């Protein structure tokens, strides 16, 4: 869910002048000259209202920073790696649209190359640390398609905390079937981020994960209108929802 409950709309020329892009008159010239884009489209009206929390603005191809940090939701496709650079594969940064790119971005956490779904890309190290720390108990939910059915015994073993072959003990995890009509698809909830964790957890029960998609981090859910491979800027409210604790 990425709804914004209040909008602090600002005129585009005022917004750019306040962020050091020139005097009001200078930025108006830039805007009229076609150097400014809003959400990927050239905007030639200085009086255009924008939402600094939600809209991605560029001047001459460079992203304008709203208030310090940026938080991006990517619907990660399979085949790209969760890294800032890679010699062989395309990275999650390579596939961002130009209006969201800026120096210092990195993926907050990692999904395997073949895993799809919700990935947050940011330039805020403190935020990433907070989100990833197992002590903060931010639950990440995955939809896992398996090569066999989910049994009640598997659900119980996840609840108790599975142990990998090398002795690594996992915290208790949630597992439920997505629908009774197809018990080969499960929803898994974990608060840690061990390497290949979900795949390894199922492996301890003799099941192979054939497709994996992350659907939520805390109370932030993958936007179902965001096509695979697309990205959008997150609002402050979206980010706060990650750390919201369910009261039931």
Catalytic residues: 112
Q: How far is the CB of 132 from ligand URA (least distance, A)?
A: 12
* Total binding residues toward ligand URA, as defined by CB under 6 A: 8
What is the total residue count of the chain? 248
Single out the residue of 77, 146, 135, 134 nearest to residue 109, CA to CA: 134
Cα gap 176→152, rounded to integer Å: 9
- C-beta of 108 vs 111, nearer to ligand URA: 111
Q: How many helices (H) and strands (E) does the chain have?
A: 6, 15
Contact with ligand URA (CB under 6 A): which of 175, 212, 217, 234? 212
- C-beta of 58 vs 141, nearer to ligand URA: 141
Contact with ligand URA (CB under 6 A): which of 17, 80, 111, 234? 111
Single out the residue of 40, 72, 44, 70 nearest to residue 57, CA to CA: 40
By the 8 A CB rule, do 143 and 178 touch? yes
Q: How far is the CB of 176 from ligand URA (least distance, A)?
A: 17
At residue 24, what are phi and psi to the nearest 5 degrees? -55, -45
Q: How far is the CB of 116 from ligand URA (least distance, A)?
A: 9
Cα gap 214→216, rounded to integer Å: 6
Is residue 112 a contact residue for ligand URA (CB under 6 A)?
Answer: yes
Is residue 138 a contact residue for ligand URA (CB under 6 A)?
Answer: no
Contact with ligand URA (CB under 6 A): which of 58, 75, 197, 216? 197
Q: What is the contact surface with ligand URA in residues (CB under 6 A)?
A: 111-112, 115, 196-199, 212
């Amino acid at each position: 869910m990425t709804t914004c409950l209040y909008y602090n709309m600002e005129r585009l020329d005022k917004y750019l002048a306040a962020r050091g892009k020139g005097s009001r008159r200078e930025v108006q010239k830039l805007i009229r000259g076609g150097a400014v884009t809003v959400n990927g489209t050239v905007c030639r009206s200085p009086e255009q209202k924008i939402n600094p929390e939600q809209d991605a603005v560029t001047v001459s191809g460079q992203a304008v920073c709203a208030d310090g940090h940026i938080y991006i939701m990517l619907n990660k496709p399979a085949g790209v790696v969760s890294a800032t650079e890679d010699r062989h594969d395309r990275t999650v940064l390579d596939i961002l649209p130009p209006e969201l790119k800026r120096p210092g971005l990195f993926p907050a956490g990692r999904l395997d190359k073949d895993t799809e779904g919700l990935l947050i890309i940011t330039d805020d190290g403190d935020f990433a640390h907070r989100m990833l720390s197992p002590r903060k108990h931010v639950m990440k939910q995955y939809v896992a398609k398996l090569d066999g059915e989910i049994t009640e015994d598997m659900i119980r073993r996840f609840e108790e905390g599975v142990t990998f072959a090398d002795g690594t003990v996992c915290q208790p995890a949630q597992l439920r079937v997505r629908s009774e009509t197809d018990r080969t698809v499960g929803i898994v909830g974990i608060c840690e981020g061990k390497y290949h964790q979900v795949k390894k957890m199922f492996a301890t029960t003799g099941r192979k994960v054939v497709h994996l998609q992350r659907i939520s981090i805390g109370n932030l859910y993958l936007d179902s209108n965001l096509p695979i491979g697309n990205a959008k800027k997150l609002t402050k409210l979206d980010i706060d929802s990650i750390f919201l604790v369910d009261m039931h």
